Amino acid sequence: MRVLVIDVGNTSTGIGLFSDGDVVDASHIKGGIRMNPALCVEALRKAAAYGVDGAVLGSVVPQINQRWQNLIQRDFGIETLSVNASLPMNITIDYPRPEHIGADRLADACGGVERYGAPLVVADFGTALTFDVIMPDNRYIGGVIAPGLPLMTDYLCERTALLPHVDLKGECPQVGRSTEEAMRIGAEVGYRGIVREIMTYLRNSMQVDFKLVATGGYAAWALRGMDMKFVIDEELTLFGLGCIFEKVEKVEGVKRVEG
């Protein structure tokens, strides 16, 4: 099965092809379809170069979902499955208001369980830093949300007169010898502390030895040098979207190719 997988976030959009249990031809477009529609179309066509059997959309920007559905219908003649908590999944959802769980978090949980098993915590380093908790019996029970790296650094730049915008790349110096270096240390080392403290809190409060899997654009940079076991899985969200599509096909027998 060859499935277009689209992860629409607040600052970027991931597009790829889920095929034979893996994600290939993945692209990440800053600004997504609102700012770079031509790049999004190009990424879709690249992923679908050898044909597709379906498409699945995980979006946290609902006002543009119809635009994606229309685009995929127009270019490929297929319906798009939009991810929400009511769909069949390889996890059970134990959450007071499941409709409030973001599609990206559902995909992270499903993809994480499929690849790494449970118990598991998936930390997604995007616009927000989210931690999703899956118990040993594959129950999704909720998580933790903290400000993401871009929110923190952009806020400092926007709300102060003298602090600049910082490019979150490069080595972490021992001490900041410039304003930029000082802010970079605060971001990188501070984020290791956030992850360490939240993981310690979750493990101790629940008495569960959760595995940690990290994904998202800033995961590798933020966690390098971390004195805690973890796995980086850069395409976990796209993989999880593909897993959800396969589960829906298996349970419901839905055929999403016209004709």
Give the active site residues: 104
Are 232 and 219 spatial neighbours (Cβ–Cβ below 8 Å)? yes
Count H helices, E strands: the chain?
8, 11
Angstrom distance (rounded) from CA 27 to CA 228: 29
Kindly list the distances between the CA atom of residue 75 and the CA atoms of 8, 78, 136, 176, in Å, as whole numbers in the listed order: 18, 8, 42, 50
Selection from 236, 248, 237, 240 nearest residue 80 by Cα: 248
Per the structure block, which two tokens stand in for 200?
A: 């310690």
87 three-class SS: coil
Type of residue numbered 143? G
